[in-house]
Each structure stands twice: as structure tokens, then as C-alpha cells.
Chains A and B, each alone.
Chain A
Amino acid sequence: MATARVEHRHPRIPFWRRARRIFLLAAIACLMPTAVSYIGAMTAGRHNVGLGVSSVEWLRENGGNSFVSEIENWYYSLTAPSKGGPPLNALPHVGVGAAGEEGEGQASKAYRPANLKPLIHPALPGEGVWKKAAAKAGPRPPVLLTTFRSDPEYPRFVAGIAWIDSSRTTLDYVPGLAEPPEPLAHRGNGEVPPSKRRQLVATFNGGFPLETSNAGLIYRGKIKEAMVNGIATVVEYRDGRIDIVKWKSGPGAPANIWFAKQNLPPIIDEGALNPNLSDGPRWGETVHNAIRVWRSGIGIDSHGNLLYAAANYQTVESLAKTLQRAGAVRALELDINEDWTSFISYRHPSAADPSNLLPEMLRPAERYLTPDERDFFAVYLRSGQPW
């Protein structure tokens, strides 16, 4: 009885106070492994963006994808641009000169895309007119660039478009330091290999990270992530041909494929816009399709040439319409958000004088000449092709 008296002489801690202490200790206990994971990721040297973006990426990779997407949806909805606004007086300067302004003969036989018809009138000087990406590109420039206002409801926003001559170029898929996350035998340094820079004419961003794209990857003929039927796929065959297809070959790697990078369902298929460009789980764990953010996409025209488009304040639908207007018959969305959207052309051989497609693109034009965490595509002149 004396023992009970000893204990009861001191009032017991109220239940709510103990519950609070338990939650406090549990939170501290949860933070310990979290800190180990976070500090490990931040010091691993796989990220080349700011701490904030790296932290968000770490959170996405560690179960916080839906949480981050919801925050992004909320943020972008709050900061959505208003329609209309003061008209632009000029477009950003792209390229180094009008396409076809030098040399005829050989050039006249080669296919050249028609200039884009402006959507907004009066058109601005140079709107939709293809310009050469490289100085001294000769009569058949491998890369052409143009800008145009892609959405009449938002006349302030300019889309950048690049056309890539597939008969003169090859496309390489280059893994980044952190993406794809799978162990790769030939990952490289996450940059354009120095040995290949002499022929480099352009580089552009890849697709969503594998875990958010509901998609697969074949790299150097080997399956790295199971392919998914019905998903849009950038394909390079072993003979060097490039195509964009709606994947139908099952989860494995067909023998004739060198690389295949999937990203979401096609936004344009056989010349028509995907009728289901609205939201849904097939469009990946990311911001909603109608949210206006930096978006990029790649398509292929009826002659087998690639078309890349990127702009700020785009929905998936407006991006698809831009690519369709540029002549794409099949297309897919690539990466989104200002931190990941890049198209860089090189004005001189050996990757000299790199230039972003649009001046508002956040990442530096040297992005892919230094190690980058995300995978990307590099466009080279075919061997034997003069610069």
C-alpha cells in the first residue's frame, strides 16, 4: 500500500500531454531516416539544379509525387496568366538568318518545311518564318528555328519551334546523372560526350522521369523499364531511322530497336489531336493537363523530320495544336516546367556558341555540355555531312 501512495502523491501526467509527447517523439524518430536519405541525396552529386528544385525532386522520388503535384496544381492555378494583355511589338530573335537565303541548286531539291501561318493578325515581323540555327549552315541547314504566337487568347506568349532534318542528322538518347534511375552500363557523364561534339547541332530535354510517366525505356537495345502499349514513343531503329510511334510491341525490346523512350499517350496520332487531352491517370503523376506551365513536345512530320516545340503557359492541348500547326503528324509531350525545358542549338562546329531556342528558357545554353541530372536528346550531323 505504501508503494501506491508514493506513486499517487505526484499527479499523473494528463493523457493529452502524454499523447503530445508521443507524437513529438514519433515525429523526431521519423525525421532521422528522412534526414539520412535527404542529406545522402543532396550530397551524392547527382543534381545540378538549386537546392529547392533538388529537394522537390527528392520528395517526388520518395513517395511525395502526388503531394508535390497537388501543391504545383494549386500554385499554378493561383498564378495563372490572364487572357489578353498588351500586344507584342516584336518576337524574340532566333537563328542566324533566313533559311534558304544562300545557295540554290542542291537546296532546291531538298525538302524544306513551309513557313508557319501566323494565328494572330497582323503578324509580327518574322513570325513563323524558318531561320537557320547555325551560321554557315549551307543550303540545307540541318536545324531550322522559328517563333510564333500560338494561342490567340494569350497573344503575349510566344512558342519556339525547331525543325530537324532527319536525312542529315542522327538522334541520340543521352542518360542523365539521375534519370533514368536504373543502373546503366553506358550511363556516361550526363553530358554530350566530348568526342561527339564536333558534329553536334542541337540538344533538347527528354521526357518525364520514368516513375511519373507510366512508361518504359529501351537503351542500347536492352529493356530498362517495361514498355507499355499505347504510349507515345521516340524510337531509333538499329539502322539509324527515327520515328515517333504509338507503341504496340509489348513490354520487351524488339530486335530492331536501338533506343525507345516513352512518355505518356500520343498528343497527336496520325495527324489528329488526341481526343482525350483532358486529365486522367494515363497522363502521368504530374500537374493537370489544363494547367498552364512551360511545356515541351516532339513530333514528326510526314517526311520523317522531327519537330520540337516549347513555350511557357501551355496546356497539353495548346502544345499539341502548336505541333500540329508546325506539321507534326505524330507527337508526344516531353518534360514540363521551367527547370527542365531546354532546346539548345549550336551555331558553330564543336558545340561552339550554344543558344537557347527562347530567351526565357531558364537553364543556361551550356546545360548539356556539363553533367545534367535528367536524360536528354542530342542531334548530330550524320557522318560525312558537311557542317
Chain B
Amino acid sequence: MRLPRDISPAAASRRSFLADLVIALALAALAIVLAAGIGIVGVGAVLALSALLVWLGIEAVAVRLRRRRRRRASAPEVGDQNRRLDAS
């Protein structure tokens, strides 16, 4: 059976998320089976989660700063506007 290919962008996004979730669950199951105990799995998970959340946080801040800079660059400066008003 082939999955339908004519899907909306949102459905494509959901599909890729589902695939990632399945892979993640398989990875988690493998870690739990192979590790010496659930405690050490938890420690690894907390460390991984912390690192990934820090990464996501830094990325979010960087994106926001970039957007703000772009907005400032595209908007006319206040001084220019005042000068134009004086001239008129």
C-alpha cells in the first residue's frame, strides 16, 4: 500500500512528525532495553533534553534577534521622516 502523495503541507508536516515519533519511540525502547537500568536511562535523557532545550532556546533567541534587525533595516529611520516633514 502506498501512502497518498497528494497531501496538504500541514498533512505532510504531520506525516513527518509521526515518522520521527516512531523512530524516537524505537530509540527510547532500545535505550531502555540496552541500559543497565532505568535510572541511567533517565540521567541520559535529562542530559540530552537539557542540551537540546538549550540549543532550541539559543536558536529561538537568534531567530528573534535576526528578525528584529531585519525589521529595523527595512523600516525608514525616524530622523529621515522628520527631515522630510520639515522640508515640506
A33 to B5, CA, bound (A): 36
Docked-complex contact B24 and A62, CB < 8 angstroms: no
Picked from B5, B35, B39, the residue with its CB within 8 Å of the CB of A59 is B39
A66 to B6, CA, bound (A): 53
Cβ contacts under 8 Å, B9 to chain A: 6, 9-10
Cβ contacts under 8 Å, A59 to chain B: 39-40, 42-43
A residues 1-60 touching B (CB-CB < 8 Å)? 2-4, 6-7, 9-10, 13, 18, 20-31, 33-35, 37-38, 58-60
A residues 217-260 touching B (CB-CB < 8 Å)? none
Docked-complex contact B23 and A22, CB < 8 angstroms: yes
A-B contact pairs, 29 of them (CB 8 A): A2-B6, A6-B5, A6-B6, A7-B7, A10-B12, A13-B16, A18-B20, A23-B24, A23-B27, A24-B56, A27-B28, A27-B48, A29-B27, A30-B41, A31-B42, A33-B41, A34-B39, A34-B41, A37-B38, A38-B39, A38-B42, A59-B43, A60-B39, A61-B37, A62-B37, A62-B38, A63-B35, A64-B43, A65-B36
CB of B52 closer than 8 Å to a CB of A? yes
Known: A20-B52, A22-B24. Contact between A33 and B12, CB under 8 A?
A: no
CB of A67 closer than 8 Å to a CB of B? yes
Cβ contacts under 8 Å, A58 to chain B: 39
Cβ contacts under 8 Å, A67 to chain B: 40, 43
A29 to B48, CA, bound (A): 12
Cβ contacts under 8 Å, A31 to chain B: 42, 45-46, 49
Which residue on B lies nearest to A35, using beta carbons?
B42
Picked from B5, B7, B31, B37, the residue with its CB within 8 Å of the CB of A26 is B31
Cβ contacts under 8 Å, A62 to chain B: 37-40, 42
A38 to B43, CA, bound (A): 12
Prevailing SS type, chain B contact patch = helix
Query: What is the count of residue pairs linking A and B with beta-carbon distances less than 8 angstroms?
Result: 117
Cβ contacts under 8 Å, A26 to chain B: 23-25, 27-28, 31, 45, 48
Cβ contacts under 8 Å, A22 to chain B: 20, 23-24, 27
Task: Give the one of B7, B20, B23 with max A CB within 10 A.
Answer: B20
The chain B residues found within 8 Å of chain A, CB to CB, are 4-9, 12, 16-17, 20-21, 23-25, 27-28, 31-32, 35-46, 48-49, 52, 55-56
Minimal beta-carbon separation of A66 from chain B (angstroms) = 8
Cβ contacts under 8 Å, A10 to chain B: 9, 12
Interface size class of A (residues with CB under 8 A): 35 or more
Docked-complex contact B49 and A27, CB < 8 angstroms: yes
Task: List 18 additional A-B contacts (Cβ < 8 Å) besides A7-B12, A26-B27, A59-B40.
Answer: A3-B5, A6-B6, A6-B8, A10-B9, A13-B16, A23-B48, A24-B24, A25-B20, A27-B49, A27-B52, A28-B49, A30-B44, A31-B42, A34-B39, A63-B35, A64-B40, A66-B36, A67-B40
Cβ contacts under 8 Å, B39 to chain A: 34, 37-38, 58-64
Minimal beta-carbon separation of B84 from chain A (angstroms) = 40
Which residue on B lies nearest to A21, using beta carbons?
B20
Picked from B8, B31, B35, B52, the residue with its CB within 8 Å of the CB of A24 is B52
